[in-house]
Amino acid sequence: MQFLLHFLNRFISLFFAGLVRLHGWGVTPDASLAAQYFQTASKGGNLLASYNLAVLHLTGTGASSTNACEDAVKLLKKVSERGWASLSEAAGDYEKGDYSWSLYNYLKGASIGVELAQSNAAWLLRRAYGYNGPKADTLAAYMLKLSAGQGNLGALIPLGDAYWYGKGVDVDLKRAGYFYTAASKRNNARALFNLGYMHQYGLGMPRDMHIAKRYYDQAMLIGPGAYLPNFLAVVWLRVHQLWNLARPKLPNALIGLINPVFESDSSGAQKATVFGMAAYALHAPVKSLVSLGKLFDFVDDAVDSSLIMWIVAILGLLVWRRRTTQHGAPQDQGRREENNGQNPIPNNQAEVDIQDAAQEQ
């Protein structure tokens, strides 16, 4: 506790040292040194230092920056968000279980542009905390758009989901893919998984199995929690590719029975989400029972090898059947021409005739 007080008092002292240097109270005025004090205190969470540093950026005094206006806006945004009393009230209401008042206070903060209030209000609305009436999904999507517009990367995935399922907005798979792509650039495993699924089934993205596998593989590298769902997705992708190879050789009745499993439309979003969430849910308990890293590496190699062997075997069988059907008819015709339409002489009868001829001689 004493360390914390000392830590906080240090930044308060830096703020007052900045004021002394800025106004020249008993010392030589030095706006540049004051800006340095304010900047250090601002990083420590002192809002007054952040405000004074923003003013220096706007007036061009002391603080040297190539993007002075942009830096000033960020600092003032930080001051407005941290200094808005409704945020602390909203957090307290949520902890007490009063979700309606919590949502109300967050919406108050969201109305003046507080990004944290916007994202928290969207979180409550999407889970029906505080309000579950008409237009709740529409308001949640609007809050997510505002939050994402201010640079909140955490709003990109929920916003993509809103366009995928049509919650609060019209279903737009291409728009969903846009937000998933933006999130994937920050190495978000869920976004990479969703993009892989979209490319695998051609939903909002061009159908491309190779690109789909690339996204799944990239997602597996994010962390241990992302390995299992994407590993299962790669296995299913291999089965899907094998089906695409075998489908032209199968009867139409069998194709009509099995093909719906490998085809999807906009409703396939539910199948993808259930598949992914189930795999993520299974990962933790399964990992506690067995070391999945080496096991998955072994199974992945075995699956890849076995699928390749099956493909080679099927191709070999098709080539063999094709050759036998091509050469079988000419051989039979040749036998018929040699016999002149007569039945061939049995081998045992030929041996008897040779023995009789030898005895007569």
Q: Got the DSSP string for 127-173?
A: TTSS--STTHHHHHHHHHHHHHHTT-GGGHHHHHHHHHHTSSS---H
> In which band, very low, low, confident or very high, does the pLDDT at 109 lie, cut at 50, 70 and 90?
confident
Contacts of 280 (CB under 8 A, 6+ apart): 225, 228, 229
Instruction: Kindly state whether residues 155 and 234 are assigned to the same domain.
Output: no
Instruction: Kindly state whether residues 231 and 274 are assigned to the same domain.
Output: yes
To which H or E segment does residue 57 belong? helix 47-59
**What does pTM read for this prediction?**
0.61
In a domain, 347, yes or no: no
> In which band, very low, low, confident or very high, does the pLDDT at 319 lie, cut at 50, 70 and 90?
low
Give the end-to-end CA distance of the chain in Å, rounded to a whole number. 128
- Joined together, the tokens standing for residue 163 give 């366009």
- pLDDT > 70? residue 50: yes
The CA–CA distances, whole Å, from 358 to 184, 273, 354 equal 92, 87, 6
Question: What share of the chain has pLDDT > 90, as a percent?
Answer: 31
Instruction: Kindly state whether residues 111 and 157 are assigned to the same domain.
Output: yes
- Where a domain ends, among 185, 211, 246? 185
CA 192 to chain CA centroid, Å, is: 3
For residue range 244-277, list pLDDT tens digits in order.
Answer: 888 888 888 888 888 887 776 544 444 444 444 4
Task: Find the domain containing 156 and state its range.
Answer: 84-185
Instruction: Kindly state whether residues 159 and 245 are assigned to the same domain.
Output: no
- How far is Cα 201 from Cα 241, in angstroms, rounded to an integer? 11
> In which band, very low, low, confident or very high, does the pLDDT at 67 lie, cut at 50, 70 and 90?
confident
In a domain, 351, yes or no: no
Report the C-alpha dihedral over residues 187, 191, 197, 199, rounded to 10 degrees: -70
For residue range 128-170, list pLDDT tens digits in order.
Answer: 999 988 899 999 999 999 999 988 989 999 999 999 999 999 9
Instruction: Kindly state whether residues 198 and 310 are assigned to the same domain.
Output: yes
CB 105 within 8 A of CB 83: no
In a domain, 343, yes or no: no
- How far is Cα 229 from Cα 231, in angstroms, rounded to an integer? 5
Instruction: Kindly state whether residues 260 and 272 are assigned to the same domain.
Output: yes
For residue range 82-93, list pLDDT tens digits in order.
Answer: 766 678 888 899
In a domain, 335, yes or no: no
In a domain, 204, yes or no: yes
- Coil, strand or helix: which one is 64? coil
- How far is Cα 150 from Cα 77, in angstroms, rounded to an integer? 10
In a domain, 106, yes or no: yes
For residue range 4-41, list pLDDT tens digits in order.
Answer: 445 557 788 888 888 888 888 888 888 889 888 888 88
> What is the phi/psi pair of residue 240, to 5°?
-60, -45
For residue range 169-222, list pLDDT tens digits in order.
Answer: 999 999 999 999 999 998 899 999 999 999 999 999 999 999 999 999 999 988
In a domain, 313, yes or no: yes
Structural domain total, the chain:
3
Instruction: Kindly state whether residues 59 and 120 are assigned to the same domain.
Output: no
Instruction: Kindly state whether residues 103 and 56 are assigned to the same domain.
Output: no
Instruction: Kindly state whether residues 138 and 40 are assigned to the same domain.
Output: no
> In which band, very low, low, confident or very high, does the pLDDT at 343 lie, cut at 50, 70 and 90?
very low
Q: What is the average pLDDT across 348-358?
A: 45
Cα atoms in the Cβ-side hemisphere of radius 13 Å centred on 324:
6
Instruction: Kindly state whether residues 250 and 274 are assigned to the same domain.
Output: yes
> In which band, very low, low, confident or very high, does the pLDDT at 234 lie, cut at 50, 70 and 90?
very high
Instruction: Kindly state whether residues 216 and 312 are assigned to the same domain.
Output: yes
CB 71 within 8 A of CB 62: no
- Where a domain ends, among 29, 48, 83? 83
CB 34 within 8 A of CB 18: yes
pLDDT given for residue 10 in this prediction: 78
Instruction: Kindly state whether residues 155 and 204 are assigned to the same domain.
Output: no
In a domain, 122, yes or no: yes
> In which band, very low, low, confident or very high, does the pLDDT at 96 lie, cut at 50, 70 and 90?
very high
Closest residue by Cα to residue 76 from 103, 115, 111? 115
- Where a domain ends, among 153, 185, 217? 185
Q: What is the CATH number of the domain that holds 109?
A: 1.25.40.10
